[in-house]
Chain A
């Protein structure tokens, strides 16, 4: 099964750009999805299929996926973006879901 590796934590100043990475050998060939989870709340899908935003998600959230790294980018970071972020893929060869370990985004 795939192992998706995320940094445990990322810190960013308000108004700057945050990048959260998700690394796996062949991730560039897969569809990657990203979830935001604030303390005490359920996760929310913020990016699906590498680059698409669900309705209601600000344009400040974007995604990319090349080679062995998928990246969630949050522009003009706000205090309300402080949360845990998880990447996810579907392993279609074994029919199971795989999550990265999660990254805690801290807004300084």
Chain B
């Protein structure tokens, strides 16, 4: 079955950087686009970024353009999110999500929590 397992979250000071990872299994990772979606505490869902199956296309939400970088390693079935210049408002649960037909999200990981605090 499809499994997406995020890691790399934690408590980090404002201005620092963090790299999130997502280990994928149960499907042919290299043939699927992937997304990161985040959810602030007691908040709604917010789409962050997308990467195409071969990594050639990357899209970002306006709010994180320039600070977030999505990447993938198809040889290891892994997805990454590099977050720089962290801000308190980046505090959220970050979900790794599989793309469905370029328009929706069909499988979600359980998320990794990022807390930005001094």
Q: Are A86 and B100 in contact (CB under 8 A)?
A: no
Q: Are B50 and A42 in contact (CB under 8 A)?
A: no
Q: Are B106 and A54 in contact (CB under 8 A)?
A: yes
Count residues on chain B whose CB falls below 8 Å from chain A CBs: 23
Report the nearest A residue to B35, measured CB to CB.
A97
0/1 string, B28-39, CB within 8 A of A gives 1: 000000010100
Note all chain B residues with C-beta closer than 8 A to A1.
62
Report the nearest B residue to A48, measured CB to CB.
B104
* Residue among A31, A35, A90 with most chain B CB within 10 A: A90
Report the nearest B residue to A30, measured CB to CB.
B103
B110 at the interface (CB under 8 A from A): yes
Nearest Cβ in chain B — how far from A48, in angstroms?
5
Count residues on chain A whose CB falls below 8 Å from chain B CBs: 26
Taken together as a complex, chains A and B put the C-alpha atoms of A18 and B99 apart, in Å, by 28
Which of A20-28, A58-66, A98-106 forms part of the interface with chain B? A98-106
Q: Are B111 and A90 in contact (CB under 8 A)?
A: no
Known: A42-B109, A97-B50. A33 touches B45 (CB 8 A): no
Taken together as a complex, chains A and B put the C-alpha atoms of A88 and B46 apart, in Å, by 10
List 20 additional contacts besides A96-B61, A97-B61; criterion CB under 8 Å: A31-B103, A33-B104, A35-B105, A43-B108, A45-B100, A45-B104, A48-B106, A49-B101, A49-B103, A49-B104, A54-B106, A88-B104, A88-B105, A90-B102, A92-B103, A95-B50, A96-B60, A97-B37, A99-B44, A102-B44
A-B contact pairs, 8 of them (CB 8 A): A42-B109, A43-B108, A45-B106, A49-B103, A96-B50, A96-B60, A96-B62, A102-B44
Q: Which residues of B contact A (CB under 8 A)?
A: 35, 37, 44-47, 50, 59-62, 95, 100-106, 108-111
